[in-house]
């Protein structure tokens, strides 16, 4: 049974020293109880208390961090099986696999192209997280050169696929200054790999036939002093992946089974029989940690990045879209102007309907702190004052020549007030549901 | 060391629902189609049974739609000009059932008529022997006006009729009662509303074995996370023994995905969105896969290639079956 | 149970079964047992027989066992000396009668005597009798309808099931005059009620009356003439039986289920016009088996206790004694009574006012310059009062203006006005009065050009010049309220009557009454305690974003959003029984002080999907209630002060907890149980049950100043209740301190009682 905040509070110094970064001991205790803070942030906790708080002090799934020359990827530290229970915290890293057998210039070209890949999703910048460079040549020098080539065009974090101590060492040298993941220790090579990882202070992936093998190895590696581990269960199919990754997550969370309390690395394209994009999608939804892609395809990557963004959205902190004035179907100054909130779903449903209807239109998306129309209205985040203010901020008067603003039917009550806030404007009350926009415009918009 | 995989013990299971009726059962379908019945979370066969695989439906219309992506027009070609031909093409593409959406208007913008809808449904029933779903265009009055005669036309075929929503379900349910069909109960991404509509429909006297629940999902990038979590919650509630959440779930990634810009638009989009066709197909397939993993029992798709891809995933998850 | 009715029904049954027996014997001889019997165009054989016995009768030779069954249901006429009980015998006789009637009708088809000929009659849509099995009976021309065919059954059935048709009426006999007959049918048609016409009085039938008056009869006008004899009553009851088979998914032979289905789902009633003879009594007894009540316009003994039907079984409403200016008004009331007795709900879809109406107009402001007239505000007073009355006390839809309309005051003027809404309903409760009364604001605001603010006796209404020009007048308030209360609250409201007062004396008289009622309500809710009720209510409205949160709402603890109190939830449950407010039986009380109830715990486990196991309704320290995110206030333990602070949603300042409201909201919300933190509604602070397990209001050491201001009066009362009149002054707020050090200093200076109370932790 997890400790409550009050129980934890009793074990803390109760000095409100703020050294942990929280304003009071009680506030810190509640964060600990929610598994959102680590006990090590309190420098004053007594050993006795720390022992009692053990279960609350270490997250059940170790956080593993990869760093590039610029940028980092953190995976692990998850606390739930289903996103609605709390949230999924650390998005799986998406990496592209390159091989050192490739010509150096080609490697550079490919890595540079993938490095430059960015897409914008509701104001969020999405991109590939890094590269997995494989020592396919089995030659340390070639491997070293390949890593240098990739590093010369990209500062993203790396995974070094180097199945021996020598190769690993060569890779680590080439990657100096960053914090790559070494892949991978197995039953044969684990001692040498452990040595390299420990020496370089980098995380290490672990490969074994099955979960028993993985658990045995992680324990050995921990004893050898490598704490940051990543599990590679070697999954190659949809079913295998789902069963293995679910088992690992359950063991870690439900039984606090420390030997498997690590994030997972998968290679969805390893089996050519499998549709890589769809297996990667499955792994994003179901417990993947680091996902290494065989193919770099902008279209598929975009879909996967968006899925990852969606699944890892905090269910209690909805995605917001940037407040502003949005153009739909290339509107001109006579096109209807509609106001709504910046809750992503609200925005999408309206934008979709208007777009689908063929009407050119202006959408005034106000800053309602990401709440839907009714919620925002009830919370005072979507009132006449705010709408009027945003109408000014985003210069609607410069966009449309008419002076008519359509507001959502659910906030019809705002119409009178809004007319006072926006002198000279006619406030029209639109439909309650987005699906009715088309018929509403047909009936009410005369241009 | 031998690790014991933690298994959950569930008290409930998803209800089995059967669509279509063979000649013996008062219809004309070659076989029936049963969905639901699982006693575990999606595809975790190590802890429960999954007696029926999810059904893959292809959506067709009673006439060639005006607003579908050119990519879809290309995929179906001339078959779209006739609902019977389209249905045959969908059967050939491997669909488990035909999901037919009636149009709001005819090609000239005149309102659709009960006679037309009836004839179109008849054509499809004659053209294929697959079980079938028929839903209205989504405007309460017109839906009711079209679905009632369709229900009569297909008496005994055990169609899935829709779409029942909180504000308009009584007439469609009554038609299903009168002519022995099933209904699709659709609610906007909310566990309690899903449950409530099932209760209301059941209260009218329709057995639970004839209700399929559509929780509404949103497309990839357009709110899918809500639908995804609502489905997971519904499924957990079902397995936990909550009777009114045990209906099999129908989702519509075809419609959801193909109406978003990413799938629909080929020009004037950022270069990094990549190849249009691949993006569009991935959008539909990735949406579908996310929903497969959150518990979908029936997926309505639009592109035959997506059906093929999703089918191969299901074949692996459940072991291929032919 | 009336012995009189029993006697006559039993006698009627005996006679008709005997008649059926004779006819059957004759048919067996003349036509032979292998001659087919059937009603045309139905796949349900002889539907009543099929439904009640499961027998699929298709030949004359299969009828004798049915007749034997009918005979077995007959009883001797009760002797004069015996007085109880008769209900069972009467109902049995009713069943026997219906079996006999269906046998007779089936045989009449064999002899070509059905459907009943009526030369010259042209039906507007009817069953076609083209089947050769018809025995060469009358052609499509010049006959009454006979049984309803399956196609029409499904088509009407769908409308009855989906609610577009509220129900059906079987009218038996003959009206006082042709005029009355027409009026009754028009009243039923106006309400979309399907009307079946049957029987006669001394040879004259309502069918004759309507035909003479040129009323179109047939499927297309929802008015179906079955036959001029009482026996044709079997057709509507066969229709009812088939409805259950078709729409209820029942099989032949499930007699009890079929009868219950009709009682629960088919809103039908029998209206007996004119003298009631033995056969009519017997047939009526049959209808009562279906849960269909009988209303007679003559003097007959009533059967008022309910049981087999939802409400009364038999009602007598002698036509000439009905209140009303003339026969037409009496006819209208008679129909109204029928509707009430069966519990048929009236459907009103449009609000009949001369200005546009809809929720889109809710926010409209009527500025002084555009104003035609105002009620309330600075210069005048307006009040609104809704009260519950008995069903007999009011007339549905009656709207009265007592006094002059606003055309008597100049443009831009003002006047005093009162609105009295009287509602009656079998499910209405006194406690729903305030819940419904609050709706007046929304309902009136929906009219374009009308602005409504406030409630009770501080209502303030403006009507724009535009609305006045379009002809809007005071009576339209009544039209709006009538339509909306029926439309939105039809499940609890059966009748609505509205009075508008501008006449000074009546206005003043009702203002007094309204105020007395407001006071009474205040006292009622103020004195309602958690101990005085045996159930609380849940609210799961917010589960869409806080999936595991459930509000437990008790009389002394309103919802944390402040929007729902116990009475609101109670009404909401009546209106929407599958909605978010469900009753929670308190169950065993394991700890009254902390507020542990077995029913609450069970509900919390299931509604939170297992994430909450126990709730202490009156504690913040131990298993406190969870919160969604809509809370008006957050209370949080300040361990150093041995008390709690309460911060309002409207307060953006720092608090002694080291967090602002919005940061705290992240800790308090999301449906997680976090001892030491609790979201709640602001009026909960004044409840005697406010964290009563932890010491109650005296634990409050810090309170947002905005709450102190808004609730100054109530807080003062609470301080007095707690026996410390200066308590509010001892409580800090954000103007005093926003940290623990400052708080402790303040508390010590003022001598706050929390410092002396037993440790919270």
Q: Does A10 touch chain C (CB under 8 A)?
A: yes
Domain with C577 in it? 531-756
Q: Is the dihedral of CA B219, B221, B227, B233 positive or negative?
A: positive
Same domain, A329 and A408: yes
Same domain, C251 and C380: no
Same domain, C50 and C112: yes
Same domain, C545 and C471: no
pLDDT for position C688: 93
C359 to chain A: which residues are within 8 Å by CB? 409, 412, 432
* A22, A40, A57 - which closes a domain: A57
Which CATH number is C17's domain given?
3.40.50.2030
- How many structural domains is chain A composed of? 3
Distance CA C297, CA C111 (A): 35
Question: Is there a contact between C456 and C433 (Cβ–Cβ < 8 Å)?
Answer: no
Position A319 in a domain:
no
Same domain, A268 and A147: yes
Position A76 in a domain:
yes
- How many structural domains is chain C composed of? 3
From A371, which residue of chain C is nearest by alpha-carbon distance?
A: C545
Position C519 in a domain:
no
Of B178, B196, B240, the CB nearest to C578: B196
Distance CA B17, CA B248 (A): 7
* Helix spans in B18-135 (H): 70-76, 83-92, 114-127
The closest of B99, B97, B82 to B21, measured between CA atoms, is: B97
Task: With CB atoms and an 8 Å threshold, state whether B223 touches A297.
Answer: no
Task: With CB atoms and an 8 Å threshold, state whether B191 touches C163.
Answer: no
pLDDT for position A39: 83
Q: Which C residues, 120 through 179, put their C-beta within 8 Å of a C-beta on chain B?
A: 154-155, 157-164
* A249, A284, A311 - which closes a domain: A311
Distance CA C544, CA C559 (A): 17
Per-residue pLDDT of chain A (447 residues; tens, 9 = 90+): 467 888 889 889 998 888 988 888 988 888 888 777 778 888 898 888 887 776 666 778 999 999 999 999 999 999 899 998 888 999 999 999 999 999 999 999 999 999 999 999 877 899 999 999 999 999 999 999 999 999 999 999 999 999 999 999 999 999 999 999 999 999 999 999 999 999 999 999 999 999 999 999 999 999 999 999 999 999 999 999 999 999 999 999 988 899 999 999 999 999 999 999 999 999 999 999 999 999 999 999 999 999 999 999 988 766 788 899 999 989 999 999 999 999 887 888 898 888 878 899 999 999 988 888 877 776 678 889 999 999 999 999 999 999 999 999 888 888 888 988 999 999 998 888 887 888 888 888 875
Model confidence at B271: pLDDT above 80: yes
From A86, which residue of chain B is nearest by alpha-carbon distance?
A: B229
**Could you give the count of Cα atoms lying within 13 Å of C47 in the half-sphere of its Cβ?**
26
pLDDT for position C40: 85
A238 to chain B: which residues are within 8 Å by CB? 313, 316-317
Same domain, A216 and A157: yes
Q: Which residues contact A45 (CB under 8 A, 6 or more apart)?
A: A11, A12, A13, A39, A53
Evaluate whether ipTM surpasses 0.90.
yes
Same domain, A130 and A172: yes
* A57, A78, A97 - which closes a domain: A57
The closest of C543, C696, C673 to C612, measured between CA atoms, is: C673
Taking the CA of residue B197 and the nearest CA in chain C, the distance in Å comes to 9
Task: With CB atoms and an 8 Å threshold, state whether C359 touches A412.
Answer: yes
Residues in chain A: 447
Position C567 in a domain:
yes
Taking the CA of residue C186 and the nearest CA in chain B, the distance in Å comes to 25
Same domain, A138 and A276: yes
Position B25 in a domain:
no
Same domain, A233 and A336: no
pLDDT < 70 regions, chain C: 1, 80-85, 127-141, 304-311, 344-349, 544-545
Tokens for A421, please give them: 């806030």
Position A249 in a domain:
yes
Model confidence at B287: pLDDT above 80: yes
Question: Is there a contact between A326 and A301 (Cβ–Cβ < 8 Å)?
Answer: no
Distances (CA, A) of C530 to C405, C447, C535, C603, C690: 46, 40, 9, 17, 12
Same domain, C642 and C713: yes
Same domain, A306 and A337: no
Which CATH number is B244's domain given?
3.20.20.20
From A409, which residue of chain C is nearest by alpha-carbon distance?
A: C360
Position C249 in a domain:
yes
More confident site: C3 or B109: B109
Tens of pLDDT, residue by residue over B183-213, are: 999 998 888 889 889 999 998 889 999 999 9
Q: Does A121 touch chain B (CB under 8 A)?
A: yes
Same domain, C663 and C750: yes
Question: Is there a contact between A294 and B272 (Cβ–Cβ < 8 Å)?
Answer: no
The closest of C506, C498, C492, C501 to C395, measured between CA atoms, is: C498
**Could you give the count of Cα atoms lying within 13 Å of B290 in the half-sphere of its Cβ?**
36
pLDDT for position C724: 93
Position A316 in a domain:
no
Q: Coil, strand, or helix at residue A264?
A: strand
Position B189 in a domain:
yes
Which CATH number is A128's domain given?
3.20.20.20
Domain with B203 in it? 55-316
- Report phi then psi at C494, rounded to 5: -100, -30
CB pairs under 8 A between A and C: 80
Position B15 in a domain:
no
Burial of A223 (0-12, 13-18, 19+ CB in 10 A): exposed
Position A287 in a domain:
yes
Same domain, A418 and A303: no
Distance CA C220, CA C202 (A): 29
A435 to chain B: which residues are within 8 Å by CB? 138
Same domain, A162 and A112: yes
pLDDT for position C136: 39
Q: Does A187 touch chain C (CB under 8 A)?
A: no
Same domain, C324 and C382: no
* Helix spans in A287-423 (H): 298-311, 344-357, 373-378, 384-393, 396-399, 415-421
Same domain, C655 and C724: yes
Task: Match 């020598």 to its residue by tokens.
Answer: A166
Domain with A190 in it? 64-311
Task: With CB atoms and an 8 Å threshold, state whether B178 touches C162.
Answer: no
C551-553 sheet: strands from edge to edge: C551-553, C535-539, C583-585
Same domain, C290 and C416: no
Same domain, A264 and A356: no
Same domain, C586 and C441: no
From C545, which residue of chain B is nearest by alpha-carbon distance?
A: B190
Which CATH number is C502's domain given?
3.30.1650.10
Same domain, A281 and A154: yes
Same domain, A94 and A243: yes
From A83, which residue of chain C is nearest by alpha-carbon distance?
A: C547
- Report phi then psi at C490, rounded to 5: -55, -25
pLDDT for position C135: 39
Same domain, C416 and C540: no
Which CATH number is A34's domain given?
1.10.15.40
Same domain, C338 and C478: no
Q: Does A433 touch chain C (CB under 8 A)?
A: no
Of A285, A297, A310, the CB nearest to B278: A297
Same domain, C28 and C157: yes
């Amino acid at each position: 049974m997890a400790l409550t905040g009050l129980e934890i509070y009793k074990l803390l110094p109760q000095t409100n020293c703020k050294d942990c970064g929280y304003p009071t001991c009680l506030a810190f205790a509640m964060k600990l109880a929610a598994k959102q803070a680590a006990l090590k942030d309190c420098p004053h906790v007594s050993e006795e208390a720390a022992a009692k708080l053990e279960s609350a002090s270490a997250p059940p799934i170790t956080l593993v961090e990869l760093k590039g020359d610029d940028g980092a990827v953190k995976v692990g530290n998850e606390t739930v099986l289903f996103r609605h229970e709390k949230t999924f915290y650390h998005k799986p890293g998406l990496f592209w696999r390159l091989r050192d057998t490739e010509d150096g210039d080609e490697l550079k070209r490919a890595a540079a192209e993938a490095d430059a890949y960015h897409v914008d999703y509701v104001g969020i910048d999405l991109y590939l997280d890094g590269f997995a460079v494989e020592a396919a040549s089995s030659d340390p020098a070639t491997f070293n050169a390949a890593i240098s080539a990739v590093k010369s065009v990209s500062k993203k974090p790396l995974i070094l696929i180097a199945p021996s101590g020598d190769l690993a060492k060569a890779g680590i040298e080439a990657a100096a200054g960053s914090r790559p993941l070494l892949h991978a220790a197995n039953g044969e090579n684990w001692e040498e790999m452990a040595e390299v990882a420990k020496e370089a202070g980098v995380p290490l992936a672990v490969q074994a036939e099955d979960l028993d093998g993985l658990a045995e190895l992680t324990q050995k590696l921990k004893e050898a002093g490598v704490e940051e581990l990543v599990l590679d269960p070697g999954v190659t199919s949809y079913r295998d992946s789902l069963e293995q990754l679910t088992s690992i997550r359950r063991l870690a969370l439900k039984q606090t089974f420390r030997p498997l309390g690590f994030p997972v690395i998968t290679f969805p394209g390893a089996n050519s029989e499998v549709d890589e994009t769809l297996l990667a999608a499955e792994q994003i939804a179901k417990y993947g940690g680091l996902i290494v892609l065989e193919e770099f395809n902008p279209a598929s990557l975009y879909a996967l990045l968006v899925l990852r963004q969606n699944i890892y959205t905090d269910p209690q902190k909805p995605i917001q879209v940037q407040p502003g004035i949005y153009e739909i179907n290339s509107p001109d100054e006579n096109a209807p102007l509609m106001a709504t909130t910046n809750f992503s779903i609200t925005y999408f449903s309206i934008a979709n309907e208007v777009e689908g209807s063929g009407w050119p239109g202006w959408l005034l998306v106000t800053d309602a702190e990401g709440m839907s129309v009714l919620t925002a209205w009830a919370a005072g985040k979507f009132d006449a004052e705010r709408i009027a203010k945003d109408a000014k901020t985003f210069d609607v008067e410069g966009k449309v020549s008419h002076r008519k603003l359509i507001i959502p039917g659910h906030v019809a009550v705002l119409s009178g007030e809004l007319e006072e806030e926006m002198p000279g404007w006619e406030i029209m009350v639109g439909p309650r549901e987005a699906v009715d926009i088309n018929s509403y415009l047909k009936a009410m918009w005369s241009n | 060391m031998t690790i014991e995989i933690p298994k959950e013990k569930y008290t409930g299971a998803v209800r089995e629902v059967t669509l279509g009726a063979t000649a013996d059962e008062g219809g004309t379908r070659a076989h029936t189609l049963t969905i639901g019945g699982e006693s575990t979370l999606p595809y975790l066969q190590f802890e429960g049974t999954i007696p029926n695989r999810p059904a893959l439906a292809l959506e067709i219309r009673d006439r060639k739609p005006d607003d579908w992506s050119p990519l879809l027009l290309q995929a179906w070609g001339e078959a779209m000009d006739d609902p019977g031909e389209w249905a045959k093409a969908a059967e050939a593409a491997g669909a488990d059932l035909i999901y037919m959406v009636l149009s709001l208007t005819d090609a000239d913008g005149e309102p659709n008529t009960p006679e037309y809808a009836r004839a179109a449904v008849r054509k499809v029933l004659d053209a294929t022997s697959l079980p079938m779903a028929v839903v209205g265009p989504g405007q309460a009055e017109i839906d009711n006006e079209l679905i009632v005669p369709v229900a009569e036309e297909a008496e005994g075929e055990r169609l899935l009729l829709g779409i029942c929503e909180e504000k308009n379900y009584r007439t469609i349910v009554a038609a299903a009662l009168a002519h022995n069909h099933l209904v699709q109960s659709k609610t906007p991404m909310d566990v309690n509303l899903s449950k409530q509509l099932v209760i209301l429909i059941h209260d009218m006297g329709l057995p639970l074995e004839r209700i399929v629940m559509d929780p509404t999902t949103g497309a990839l990038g357009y709110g899918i996370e809500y639908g995804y979590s609502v489905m997971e919650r519904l499924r957990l509630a079902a397995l936990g023994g909550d009777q009114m959440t045990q209906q099999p779930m129908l989702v519509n990634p075809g419609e959801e995905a193909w109406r978003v810009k990413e799938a629909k638009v080929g020009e004037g989009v950022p270069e990094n969105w990549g190849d249009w066709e691949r993006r569009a197909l991935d959008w539909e397939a990735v949406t579908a896969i996310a929903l497969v993993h959150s518990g979908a029992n029936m997926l309505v798709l639009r592109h035959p290639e997506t059906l093929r891809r999703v089918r191969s995933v299901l074949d692996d998850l459940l072991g291929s079956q032919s | 149970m009336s012995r009189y009715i029993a006697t006559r029904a039993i006698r009627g049954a005996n006679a008709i079964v005997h008649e059926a027996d004779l006819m059957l014997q004759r048919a067996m001889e003349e036509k032979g047992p292998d001659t087919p019997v059937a009603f045309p165009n139905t796949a349900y054989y002889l539907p009543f027989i099929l439904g009640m016995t499961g027998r699929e009768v298709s030949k004359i030779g299969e009828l004798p066992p049915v007749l034997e069954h009918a005979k077995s249901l007959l009883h001797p006429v009760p002797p004069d000396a015996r007085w109880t009980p008769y209900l069972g015998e009467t109902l049995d006789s009713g069943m026997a009668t219906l079996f006999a009637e269906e046998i007779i009708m089936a045989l009449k088809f064999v002899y070509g005597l059905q459907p009943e000929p009526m030369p010259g009659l042209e039906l507007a849509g009817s069953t076609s009798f083209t089947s050769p099995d018809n025995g060469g009976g009358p052609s499509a021309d010049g006959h009454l309808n006979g049984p309803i065919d399956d196609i029409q059954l499904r088509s009407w059935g769908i409308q009855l099931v989906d609610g577009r048709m509220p129900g059906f009426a079987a009218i038996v006999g003959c009206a006082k005059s042709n005029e009355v007959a027409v009026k009754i049918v028009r009243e039923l048609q106006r309400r979309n009620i399907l009307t079946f016409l049957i029987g006669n009085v001394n040879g004259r039938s309502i069918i004759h009356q309507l035909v003479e008056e040129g009323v179109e009869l047939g499927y297309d006008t929802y008015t179906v003439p079955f036959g001029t004899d009482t026996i044709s009553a079997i057709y509507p009851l066969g229709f009812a039986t088939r409805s259950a088979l078709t729409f209820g998914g029942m099989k032949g032979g499930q007699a009890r289920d079929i009868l219950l289905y009709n009682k629960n789902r088919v809103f039908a009633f029998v209206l007996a016009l004119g003298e009631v003879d033995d056969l009519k009594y017997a047939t009526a007894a049959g209808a009562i088996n279906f849960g269909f009540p009988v209303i007679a316009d003559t003097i007959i003994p009533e059967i008022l206790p309910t049981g087999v039907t939802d409400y009364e079984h038999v009602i007598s409403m002698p036509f000439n004694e009905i209140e009303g200016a003339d026969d037409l008004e009496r006819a209208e009331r008679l129909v109204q009574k029928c509707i009430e007795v069966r519990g048929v709900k009236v459907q009103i879809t449009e609000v009949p006012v001369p200005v546009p109406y809809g929720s889109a107009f809710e926010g409209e402001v009527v500025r002084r310059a555009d104003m035609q007239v105002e009620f309330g505000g600075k210069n005048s007073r307006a009040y609104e009062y809704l009260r519950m009355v008995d069903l007999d006390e009011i007339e549905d839809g009656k709207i009265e203006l007592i006094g002059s309309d606003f055309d008597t005051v100049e443009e831009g003027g003002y006047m005093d006005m009162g609105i009295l809404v009287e509602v009656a309903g079998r499910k209405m409760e006194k406690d729903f009065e305030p819940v419904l009364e609050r709706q007046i604001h929304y309902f009136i605001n929906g009219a374009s050009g009308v602005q409504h603010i406030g409630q009770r006796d501080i209502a303030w209404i403006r009507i724009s010049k535009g609305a006045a020009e379009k002809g809007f007048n005071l009576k339209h308030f009544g039209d709006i309220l009538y339509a909306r209360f029926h439309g939105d609250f039809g499940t609890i409201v059966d009748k609505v009557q509205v009075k508008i007062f501008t006449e000074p004396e009546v206005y003043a008289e009702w203002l007094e009454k309204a105020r007395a009622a407001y006071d009474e309500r205040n006292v009622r809710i103020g004195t309602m305690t958690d101990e005085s009720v045996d159930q609380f209510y849940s609210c799961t409205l917010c589960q869409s974003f806080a999936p595991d949160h459930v509000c437990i709402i008790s009389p002394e603890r309103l919802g944390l959003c402040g929007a729902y109190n116990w009475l609101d939830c109670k009404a909401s449950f009546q209106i929407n029984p599958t909605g978010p407010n469900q009753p929670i039986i308190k169950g065993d009380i394991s700890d009254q002080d902390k507020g542990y109830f077995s029913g609450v715990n069970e509900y919390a486990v299931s509604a939170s999907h297992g994430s909450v196991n126990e709730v202490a309704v009156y504690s913040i320290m131990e298993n406190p209630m969870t919160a969604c995110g809509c809370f008006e206030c957050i209370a949080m333990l300040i361990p150093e002060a041995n008390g709690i602070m309460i911060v309002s949603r409207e307060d953006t300042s720092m608090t002694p907890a080291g967090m602002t409201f919005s940061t705290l909201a992240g800790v308090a919300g999301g449906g997680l149980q976090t001892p030491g933190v609790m979201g709640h509604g602001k009026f909960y602070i004044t409840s005697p049950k406010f964290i009563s397990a932890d010491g109650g209001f005296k634990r409050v050491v810090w309170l947002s100043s905005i709450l102190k201001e808004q609730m100054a009066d109530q807080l003062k009362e609470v301080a007095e209740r707690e026996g410390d009149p200066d308590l509010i002054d001892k409580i800090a707020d954000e103007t005093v301190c926003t940290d623990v050090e400052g708080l402790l200093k303040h508390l010590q200076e003022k001598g706050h009682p929390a410092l002396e109370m037993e440790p919270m932790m």
